[in-house]
Structure 1
Amino acid sequence: MTQTDQRGTTKKSKSFIFVAATVLSSFFIALWQEFLGQTLGALLGDLLWVGSLLLFSGSLILLLAHAQRDSPHEGLRLVAKTLPDSPVTGYVLTVLAGIAAAAFLAPWIWPILRPACPIPTQIVVATATDSEAVLRAAADKYEIMRRDENGGCRPADVVVYSAGTTEVVQKTLQNNWQLPTTAEPGSGSTGPSYLIDRSLGAKPHYWIPESTVEYLDLVNPVDKRIIKSAELDHNEEAGGLEYLGATRLTPLVWAVPTTFPHDVEPGIPYDDPDVNWARPGLRWTSVGRLHGAHQTRLLVEDDRILDVEEAEARFVGDEGADSSAALLCRLGTGSDTVALVSEAALYRAYHASDSVSPDCPEGIRTDLVPRYSPDLPFLDHPLIRVNWETVEPDDITKERRKFEDFLLDLADDEEAYRSSGVYAGYRSVTGQGAAAAELAAGHGVSREGEIPQWAAQFDAVEWFSWATRAKTAHEKAAEPATVLLAFDRSTSMASLPQQFDAARTAATTIIRDLREQDRFGLWSYPAGDTGAAATTAATLVDMVHRDELPQGLISAVEGLTPIYRPTPLREVIRDGVLALEKEQAPQAVLVVITDGVRIQDDPGLGQEELERVLDESDVRVRIIAVGGGAQQAEEQNACEVGLLPQLTEHPNVECRAADEGRADESARGVAEEARGGR
């Protein structure tokens, strides 16, 4: 009998321990879920919430059985026999039931009783396209840290967005974060431009460009030193900039195919029929500009200053890529091209979760090998505080200072540069980076012992000087462009409001990029609904130099509307190519803005007839596809709508998607391409 009692006591003790552990765990997980918001906490919290309901029910049954030991119900008597016959048992069961009930009701009662979190302070960060994803990850890390420090309430909301090209950001910083009013091209008196850059977001508190070179464009160095604070006096509302320091580094590299000679180090690109060269736009990116600076420096130091413009001419016609990611996308998956990019861009291409996307339908290039050189510069991604001419509340200033400290501390936090870190693929300000080192080691080109030394010797002011010379050489190397733009005004372009808006944006972007000696013409098609007008284009502007363009051209483009039913797409391409042949311009480009949807009552011009015209011409056709509206499937790329897949089968025809806010990007660089060719 004694043994039985001891076993019973042991069982009862274990039961109470289990029950107590369950209750305490439930309460702990509920708090975890509430204050930390962890995924695992949410899962276990849901499971133990159900457990608390069962525990509450079981506690009531045990309490009832304990109170009714002499109950006529046999079930209650059997349950009561498992419980100690003591007044303490009742108290314990009562407390147990109360805790279980509290845990069960907490998810409903706590939100009512707790004080509401105040609206978080918003911090806006403008950056480059290649940096947007990693800065968003860093911003998330900061928000979580601040929430933990603030008892579960998030005091800061950090907004990160890509603010467009270097050129756009510099202009808007000087003009209260608006594109400055520009003169209409043409002779006579000028009027305001209706051009709107639709990529601009809210006024930023911080600007994180790719390189300090971009900051130095606005705040010129003095005595070879970076001026840490300066007013932007171009506009009374522009405010000023404060240079706070680098946030991370990444060396520039040559990304070469596996067939590239192993003994060739990065230097001056050379002529070889088996090797093509490509880099992001010099006007649009610091990557392109600093690679140009590297080439210029090597030529000048080799007493070949007269070759600088000729060397830049190699890249004049391929200036459309406004980021390293865009360049790697354009290379496709099978091109024997050396890409002049950054180490971080190559790393991110290798580690993209999906190399094929609507933005890159052919797949991003992921088989290139990095080549390093001590002569190549770095991107240093500086943190620039933007001080607008407005009074800022103290709480915003305080939160901004915390955010600055966080980013500058992260700059040399080695954990951030591991494969699981927010800056994976980049390097710390001392040149260390575990994930980037793994990429190099994987290709047998590790330079880990040298890169920190190169980083210590990097001088942004010195490279700014070379970058300025490269930009000048690039502009001098360009030939005058010849561009004919054909604008689709068919009614299918109005199936979605944003289609025609994108078309206008693409057209005005091209017009804005024209230079003094460039020639430009503008057609709209069709010319009418019936007869010959239904298969031809109307000439809005004859081919003339930029300075001879009519007054109010951009305003006129912004005022175009889709009013005619037919879409004579093949006919317009044929007529445009033949018209440009008469110009006798070897690098002429026909730009066709369209949705690709052909609505025609007659068969019209056949594909074979069009291809015969294209075969006999050097004119390049660039289609800017604004999306097919109702005729575009959800996962379909804008360049896959209607006739566009057939048209782009010809090597002279390329298509660029302009839907989903990419109108500026799709049109950017068209004039540059016409100046140099490929």
Structure 2
Amino acid sequence: APAPGGRGPLPRRVLLPLLAAAGLLCGCGIQADGAVAGGGCPTPAQVRVAAAPGGLGAYREIAAGFEEWVAERQHGCRAVDLYVYPAAVDDLTEGLRKGWGVGDDGRDYLRDVGPHPDVWLPATAGEVPPDARDVIDRVELIAQTPIVLGVPARARVPGDEARRRSNVSLPALLAAVGGRDGVVRGDFAGSAVARMATATLYRDGTLDPAAARTEIEQPLERFLDAGGYPVGDEAALLCHQRRVRGGTAVLLTEQQLVRFNRGDAPDGGCVGAAVPAAVDQLHAFYPATTPAVRQVAVTLTWPRSAQGGTARSYAAWFVSWLRQKPGRQALLRAGLRPTGLDAADPIGPVNGALADWPFVRRVPGEPNALTRRNVAELYAAARRPGRFLVALDSSGSMNAVTADPDRTRFEVAAAAVEQAASRLGRRDELGLLTFGGQGARELLPIAAAGDDPVGRVRRSAAAVRPAGDTPLYEAVRRGAAALRAGPGDAQRTLVVLTDGKDTSGRPRPSAAQTAGVRIFVIAVGDVSCADAALAALTTDSGGRCFDAGPDSLQPALTSMFRAVWEMEGD
């Protein structure tokens, strides 16, 4: 069966190395051909499937369908085990280019990213790198899903049934349907769907930067803040949507909308799943010019030392099955529109969709590489600047050594902050404080990143000697106050890295003390996001809590900072 369990509280770029490493430790590598399991059945062949984190739940369902289909043809024996794990596109594509070994920067992709995938299911066809053809065997189109505007039924849009299939552009649709509660979009840096939608909103990168700022980004930011939505992908937005039950519309794919309305297990760290009430169901509005997300399956070929013949054969069989009727039916059940199969249940009015899309319209292709680059540059100029403050735990427990016996938790954490600082945009601001035996101390005042942000962090952290207790709440109060004191409309984010609970005995910061600041906590060592106080700090502010194991602290932190800080570089 697919790897057990749904998504935990970690975001995709942090969760990937931990899940992959856990899979390896649990023996999820290819097993020897011919071994015999209980009941006289051969030991299942192991096939490693890297999937886009936002579609992890759906692809695990599809993988289970393939395993059952094969078992029916093997006299009931479970002949293949598809290990489906989340794969961030940046990590996976770089791993393909590096041959999944150790990169020039010393990064071990097998350790930090996961096992060599036999099959890759990316978020979009456009994510497949053109310069990894020595590893990529075949790229097969298996399905598509249009980008839609999901409007809660409670919003009661005038004439909504006609508007749902009206021939208007995406910007016009947002203006007509947004209403009092507005529209939110996923994080541009962390979501391929958000980037595709933004390309359409920006007229494929030809929109004037001032117009992109005032007409597109400012309204989206305003409603994201007003609704307390997290900075994350569509799964994270939908998790929040389940809780607030408001009238805000969401830009997402039809598949995500159908699965939300059906009550499927979410991929965004939500606890549990349930069918929303009728007034909270999302109705899909289909803009005329937004392209559909093309879903492809990529088969990968590795040296025999890394990929056995049985695994390679089953990987090819799985991809072939996805293009045959049983596989297409599995894709449809997961909410996608498979090639060569008409849309049917669950894609229909019961789940907020319209099965007869595209309404005799031409569906634009995905943005090409040039358009994606132009849109990214325009977004970097149009987005609001970030004001970031890192609160770094300097209590005595941060002296604990990591998997590298020459480095402590504090040293690894400081190095990760340095690496993240190197990717700040020119308009972003960064500050650093520590909290330990001497209380919360400002090391770097919040200021523009400047020409040498890495040097600023390194020099300020070099003199810190971790010791004493953990005045966590004092650090949060002081950090939030410093962030709120700055002028302008910058996105205010407090990133707290700690390996312990608050020891001050003082109450948790109040909502008034943290208002207007998103709080992200990275829990390491002896503390976790299961701690109710940490969860409340982050959830109440529209932030998130991330668990990071001490042995994989640096790659986890680097990935987390890259995701939270929208590091596109100005």
1:641 aligns with one of 533, 546, 568 = 533
Deviation string, structure 1 residues 340-377 (Cα, Å, up to 9, x no partner): 00111112122235679963589897522211234222
1:267 aligns with one of 170, 193, 217 = 170
**Taking structure 1 as reference, are residues 508 and 250 closer, same or farther at Cα in structure 2, changes over 3 Å only?**
farther
State the alpha-carbon separation in 1 of the partners of residues 36 and 246 from structure 2: 61
State the partner residue of 2:143.
Answer: 248
Q: Establish whether residue 158 from structure 1 lines up as the match of residue 82 from structure 2.
A: yes
Task: Decide whether the 8 Å contact of 2:290 with 2:363 is kept in 1.
Answer: no
State the partner residue of 1:405.
Answer: 320
**Taking structure 1 as reference, are residues 380 and 556 closer, same or farther at Cα in structure 2, changes over 3 Å only?**
farther
State the alpha-carbon separation in 1 of the partners of residues 266 and 273 from structure 2: 9
State the partner residue of 1:149.
Answer: 73
2:97 aligns with one of 143, 152, 174 = 174
Percent sequence identity is 19
Deviation string, structure 1 residues 58-100 (Cα, Å, up to 9, x no partner): xxxxxxxxxxxxxxxxxxxxxxxxxxxxxxxxxxxxxxxxxxx
Q: Establish whether residue 478 from structure 1 lines up as the match of residue 370 from structure 2.
A: no
**Taking structure 1 as reference, are residues 321 and 556 closer, same or farther at Cα in structure 2, changes over 3 Å only?**
same
1:335 aligns with one of 246, 252, 274 = 246
Q: Establish whether residue 290 from structure 1 lines up as the match of residue 196 from structure 2.
A: yes
SS in 2 for 1:380: strand
- Root-mean-square deviation (CA, aligned residues, Å) is 4.8
The answer to which of 200-209 and 240-249 deviates more is 240-249
- What is the TM-score when the length of structure 2 is the normalising length? 0.71
Deviation string, structure 1 residues 575-611 (Cα, Å, up to 9, x no partner): 33454466545424332233672213xx66x668x77
State the alpha-carbon separation in 2 of the partners of residues 572 and 519 from structure 1: 19
2:203 partner letter = R
State the partner residue of 1:225.
Answer: none
Task: Decide whether the 8 Å contact of 2:289 with 2:363 is kept in 1.
Answer: no
**Taking structure 1 as reference, are residues 622 and 273 closer, same or farther at Cα in structure 2, changes over 3 Å only?**
farther
Task: Decide whether the 8 Å contact of 1:626 with 1:638 is kept in 2.
Answer: no
1:307 partner letter = A
Residue 525 of structure 1 deviates from its aligned partner by 1.0
Task: Decide whether the 8 Å contact of 2:193 with 2:293 is kept in 1.
Answer: yes
- What is the TM-score when the length of structure 1 is the normalising length? 0.61
State the partner residue of 1:212.
Answer: 125
Task: Decide whether the 8 Å contact of 2:147 with 2:254 is kept in 1.
Answer: yes
State the alpha-carbon separation in 1 of the partners of residues 531 and 493 from structure 2: 18
Q: Establish whether residue 672 from structure 1 lines up as the match of residue 566 from structure 2.
A: yes
State the partner residue of 1:590.
Answer: 494
Matched ranges for 1:9-20 at <5 A: none
Deviation string, structure 1 residues 621-652 (Cα, Å, up to 9, x no partner): 4131527947x7xxxx546237x64x569x7x
Q: Establish whether residue 134 from structure 1 lines up as the match of residue 134 from structure 2.
A: no
Task: Decide whether the 8 Å contact of 1:122 with 1:157 is kept in 2.
Answer: yes
Deviation string, structure 1 residues 222-244 (Cα, Å, up to 9, x no partner): xxxxxxxx645xxxxxx332443
Deviation string, structure 1 residues 266-287 (Cα, Å, up to 9, x no partner): 6213397723321222222221
Deviation string, structure 1 residues 539-559 (Cα, Å, up to 9, x no partner): 278745253134495899899
Q: Establish whether residue 657 from structure 1 lines up as the match of residue 521 from structure 2.
A: no
Higher RCO, 1 vs 2 (CA within 8 Å, ≥6 residues apart) = 2
**Taking structure 1 as reference, are residues 270 and 137 closer, same or farther at Cα in structure 2, changes over 3 Å only?**
same
1:623 partner letter = F
Matched ranges for 1:50-61 at <5 A: none
Deviation string, structure 1 residues 317-359 (Cα, Å, up to 9, x no partner): 9696554222211333323321000111112122235679963
State the alpha-carbon separation in 2 of the partners of residues 277 and 638 from structure 1: 31
Deviation string, structure 1 residues 481-537 (Cα, Å, up to 9, x no partner): 3312011233577999899699779857854652345332322212x3xxxx2x232
State the partner residue of 2:291.
Answer: 377
State the partner residue of 2:469.
Answer: 566
Task: Decide whether the 8 Å contact of 2:522 with 2:547 is kept in 1.
Answer: yes
Segments of structure 2 that go 5 or more residues without pairing to the other structure are 1-34, 550-555
Task: Decide whether the 8 Å contact of 1:195 with 1:505 is kept in 2.
Answer: no
**Taking structure 1 as reference, are residues 659 and 613 closer, same or farther at Cα in structure 2, changes over 3 Å only?**
closer
Deviation string, structure 1 residues 419-469 (Cα, Å, up to 9, x no partner): xxxx3322222462322333x2565x63x3343755xx4353566665444
Q: Which is helix-richer, 1 or 2?
A: 1
**Taking structure 1 as reference, are residues 441 and 552 closer, same or farther at Cα in structure 2, changes over 3 Å only?**
same
2:523 partner letter = V
Deviation string, structure 1 residues 382-405 (Cα, Å, up to 9, x no partner): 112223466765444433332221
Matched ranges for 1:483-498 at <5 A: 483-490=388-395
State the alpha-carbon separation in 1 of the partners of residues 548 and 320 from structure 2: 35
State the partner residue of 1:92.
Answer: none
1:344 partner letter = Q
State the partner residue of 2:478.
Answer: 575
State the alpha-carbon separation in 1 of the partners of residues 430 and 230 from structure 2: 18
Task: Decide whether the 8 Å contact of 1:195 with 1:508 is kept in 2.
Answer: no
1:281 aligns with one of 187, 209, 219 = 187
1:591 partner letter = V
Task: Decide whether the 8 Å contact of 1:625 with 1:657 is kept in 2.
Answer: yes
SS in 1 for 2:203: helix
State the partner residue of 1:352.
Answer: 263
State the alpha-carbon separation in 2 of the partners of residues 393 and 362 from structure 1: 38
Deviation string, structure 1 residues 187-219 (Cα, Å, up to 9, x no partner): xxxxx7x8999872211122211211212xx22
State the partner residue of 2:21.
Answer: none
Segments of structure 1 that go 5 or more residues without pairing to the other structure are 1-110, 183-191, 220-229, 233-238
Size of the aligned set, in residue pairs, is: 502
1:626 aligns with one of 523, 538, 559 = 523
State the alpha-carbon separation in 2 of the partners of residues 656 and 197 from structure 1: 27
Task: Decide whether the 8 Å contact of 2:398 with 2:409 is kept in 1.
Answer: yes
SS in 2 for 1:458: coil
2:282 aligns with one of 349, 368, 384 = 368
Q: Establish whether residue 434 from structure 1 lines up as the match of residue 344 from structure 2.
A: yes
1:328 partner letter = L
SS in 1 for 2:62: helix
State the alpha-carbon separation in 1 of the partners of residues 139 and 433 from structure 2: 49
State the partner residue of 1:55.
Answer: none
Q: Say which one has the larger Rg.
A: 1
1:177 partner letter = W
2:287 partner letter = S
